[in-house]
């Protein structure tokens, strides 16, 4: 099973994924976690290069995802593991779509190379709250601008027929429980 946890920066994706991994392992499931972008040459380049055009950035994300799918995701799925993704191609759709690229074209390019997830969970947060969380961790990166994150969030929410939307305004414990309940409902 392939499960993607999505959200804008500062929404709690990594915390939710780590919690899920531990809870599912306690229940006897074989679980792996992958985070995108990866540490591949393309993932590193997209995160460290300044001044990339949106099309160049998209191409790097696609190459990085292809690497992740071939090296990590498909082999793990073939071994009957539960694959948890800390970001997947829905993030590419939202973030590069917010830069003006066609969201459906991004989807098409990704679905040609990447398996569709069995479940997508979007952790929804107001961008102003997300920025406050991010600032608590240090200096925001180039993707962590409030106006940009608002556009990204709007694109994510426009995809809500394909994902479960979980509001992160509640305590982290309640949010994690909702995420776990959502996953367990499709596993049992």
Domains of the chain (ranges; CATH) run 2-187 (3.40.50.300)
Residue with tokens 């590193």: 44
Proportion of the chain above pLDDT 90, given as a percent: 81
Q: Provide long-range contacts, Cβ within 8 A and 24+ apart, for 104-112.
A: 106/58, 109/58, 109/62, 110/62, 110/65
Core vs surface per residue 110-127: b (16+ CB within 10 A) or e: beeebeebebbbbbbbbb
pLDDT value at residue 121 = 97
Q: Angle, to 10 degrees, between the axis of helix 54-68 and the axis of helix 41-48?
A: 150
Nearest to residue 12, comparing CAs of 147, 175, 177?
175
Output phi, psi for 81, to 5 deg: -90, 155
Cα atoms found within 13 Å of the Cα of residue 119, Cβ hemisphere only: 20
Least confident among 95-99, 127-131, 173-177 = 127-131
Q: What is the pLDDT of residues 130-185, one digit of tens each?
A: 888 777 665 555 556 788 999 999 999 999 778 999 999 888 899 999 999 999 99
Mean pLDDT of 95-105: 96
Q: Is 64 in contact with 42 (CB distance < 8 Å)? A: yes
pLDDT of 136 reads 63
pTM, 2 dp: 0.92
pLDDT at 20: 97
Could you tell me if 38 and 27 are in contact, meaning their C-beta atoms sit under 8 angstroms apart?
no
Integer Cα distance of 84 and 13 in angstroms: 11
- Residue 102, pLDDT score: 97
Percent of the chain with pLDDT over 70: 95
Q: What is the tens place of the pLDDT at every residue in 44-71?
A: 999 998 899 999 999 999 999 999 999 9
Asked whether the predicted pLDDT for residue 125 surpasses 60, the reply is: yes
| Whether the Cβ atoms of residue 16 and residue 175 lie closer than 8 Å to each other | yes
- Please, what is the average pLDDT of the chain? 93
Q: Phi, psi at residue 120, to the nearest 5°?
A: -125, 125
């Amino acid at each position: 099973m392939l499960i993607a946890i999505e959200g804008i920066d500062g929404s709690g994706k990594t915390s939710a994924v780590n919690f899920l991994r531990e809870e599912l392992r306690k229940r006897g499931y074989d679980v792996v976690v992958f985070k995108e972008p990866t540490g591949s040459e393309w993932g590193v380049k997209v995160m460290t290069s300044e001044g990339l055009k949106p099309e160049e950035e998209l191409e790097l994300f696609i190459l990085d995802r292809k690497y992740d799918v071939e090296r990590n995701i498909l082999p793990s799925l073939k071994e009957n593991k539960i694959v948890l993704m800390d970001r997947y191609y829905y993030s590419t759709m939202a973030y590069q779509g917010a830069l003006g690229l066609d969201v459906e074209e991004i989807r098409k390019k990704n679905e040609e190379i990447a398996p569709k997830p069995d479940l997508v969970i979007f952790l929804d947060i107001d961008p102003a709250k997300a920025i406050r969380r991010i600032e608590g961790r240090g200096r925001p990166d180039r993707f962590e601008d409030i106006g940009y994150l608002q556009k990204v969030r709007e694109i994510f929410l426009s995809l809500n027929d394909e994902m479960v939307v979980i509001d992160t305004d509640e305590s982290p414990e309640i949010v994690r429980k909702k995420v776990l309940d959502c996953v367990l409902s499709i596993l049992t």
